[in-house]
Structure 1
């Protein structure tokens, strides 16, 4: 009985693991964890160019001079920030349209239009409810963190709503893949897929409307009915205009193709 137990323990996989462990332990060179301090001579004047040699690799640093705080915060006037900042217009106008086109082109139209009412309800009402629930929860957490002294920066209600609008844009790729493997009901698949297609567009327009909320007066974060209805109008205008443009483009393309 003892022999069978020992035979079960020492499997070929265990031996391979031991061999790999020995190779990693004794085959790789040990690295020193001690910090190295480098002494540099102090110069009276500042260098315009600094050349650093690190393990045979040379790095050149150029001194551009003093930068005002206004230029640091402005992406357009700061070359470094402009290089590392991704332009959202590139995503909205170049990367996003092919993604939405592929999603709509591969959609099963019969099941989509049969459940269009439920899909629109999930996309509009579900995204709006999710945005406000997440925004209110975030606002409560921010207030609680200020009370306990863990947060000193100012977070306004519009900032929390903006975060809620961004988080509400879900992408159920994994769930759809599981549904496809399990051969789930086609109506359930169409509901989830159609909601995910429209959910992204609703979240983008909703976040743009929240950013466009600008109350009149000194307090730009107070509630203003005129600014609220203006944001709602921007939301409806952008979404209806985009929907109309997409529908007209689809009809014209269908007439030209056939």
Structure 2
């Protein structure tokens, strides 16, 4: 469990550094603007010499981008080779993504202290790449490869953990971080809303190592399906929660705002889910009433394109593309899969799994690289320690009370059935 905790600590650190760096940049910009205005008003403004910025030409950009891609591909090869070695040696306590994370950190540190500024800038974190390129394959594969029988059999329990557990986790993290920020240590001052937004980003879980251990030791399928299903849905819940809370930034918050936020969250989640189901059903009808099964290549392309269309359309109409793509994948597997040719069934299943595996490993490498390739880095060690402790406390507050309630309800239901 130690490597898992180290990986979690490193990922949390990367998120924290981004938040603190943004806050420091905003403060510096405000101070700079105030100083400039004062200087101008007193008539003592002086010209500030500017440093010329060298912009690489097309040939240099191609060379730098090739070096950046070479580094990323080399790290991916290392990650997958490590995965092979761990499977051969049957080592379940370490996941290949941990190796990718620390390898990315090492390469990022070398770029930070070395002369490769252009390569470093190309490997810096980009929201566009993360949300539009890396995240969709993982979400689609999660819905498409879902063990639907166990998932829907325990759907109520999964929903309780995904919604209530994620809410509790986000609130606990947000409140603890807010109380710590009131101490004004390390020059950090955050509002309660900002802390809740921050808590929503850390409320989702990624139990890859736990599920790998479950597969090895063949645990109860019900336990596996609950943890796996909750890990799928809580990603979508946390992202929708983040977007909902972000809409209140810069606004006055009243008691009615809480109910408005809850209503907005439920509306966005429900409409996004319906959009995904509609796209999946539309694809199913298209395959059923056409002869695309005679052309497996075209059929595979259309299935993948329709799935990705649901993601980008939902994002375009201010819904949640994550929720839409997840339920589109579930619908495709439940309905469209049986209208596909055998070749398309195999192609889509392995293609989605391969893309998801590549994206997942690349994300961990990307996080490791971004820890040192960002232009502005501000380290707040106490903030990191407090947040890690808050995450642990939030999981305790979310898992054990909900599990106790769910088990008590099920025991009461079983007792009533036994008496009847």
Secondary structure of 2:187 counterpart = coil
Q: Relative to structure 1, is the Cα distance of residues 83 and 93 closer, same or farther in structure 2, using a 3 angstrom cutoff?
A: same
Equivalent pair of 1:111/1:187 in contact (CA under 8 Å): yes
Q: Relative to structure 1, is the Cα distance of residues 48 and 115 closer, same or farther in structure 2, using a 3 angstrom cutoff?
A: closer
What is the deviation of 1:119? Answer: 0.5
Note if 1:139 corresponds to 2:174: no
State how far apart, in whole Å, the 1-side matches of 2:156 and 2:189 are. 40
Q: Relative to structure 1, is the Cα distance of residues 94 and 151 closer, same or farther in structure 2, using a 3 angstrom cutoff?
A: same
Note if 1:152 corresponds to 2:177: no
Equivalent pair of 1:131/1:161 in contact (CA under 8 Å): yes
Compute the TM-score of the two structures, normalised by the length of structure 1.
0.60
Q: Relative to structure 1, is the Cα distance of residues 142 and 98 closer, same or farther in structure 2, using a 3 angstrom cutoff?
A: same
Give the one of 257, 260, 263 matched to 1:233: 263
Compute the TM-score of the two structures, normalised by the length of structure 2.
0.38
Give the one of 222, 233, 243 matched to 2:273: 243
Q: May I ask how many residue pairs the two structures share in their alignment?
A: 174
Which residue of the partner structure matches residue 167 of structure 2?
A: 128
Q: Relative to structure 1, is the Cα distance of residues 47 and 172 closer, same or farther in structure 2, using a 3 angstrom cutoff?
A: closer
| Larger strand percent | 1
State how far apart, in whole Å, the 2-side matches of 1:130 and 1:194 are. 17
Moved over 4 A (4+): 45-50, 82-87
Structure with higher RCO (Cα < 8 A, 6+ apart): 2
Q: Relative to structure 1, is the Cα distance of residues 46 and 174 closer, same or farther in structure 2, using a 3 angstrom cutoff?
A: closer
What is the deviation of 1:107? Answer: 1.4
State how far apart, in whole Å, the 2-side matches of 1:156 and 1:47 are. 37
Gaps of 5+ in 1: 1-44, 51-81
Please report the RMSD computed on the Cα atoms of aligned residues, expressed in angstroms.
Answer: 2.6
Secondary structure of 1:119 counterpart = helix
Gaps of 5+ in 2: 1-48, 55-120, 288-335, 340-420
Which residue of the partner structure matches residue 10 of structure 1?
A: none
State how far apart, in whole Å, the 2-side matches of 1:164 and 1:202 are. 13
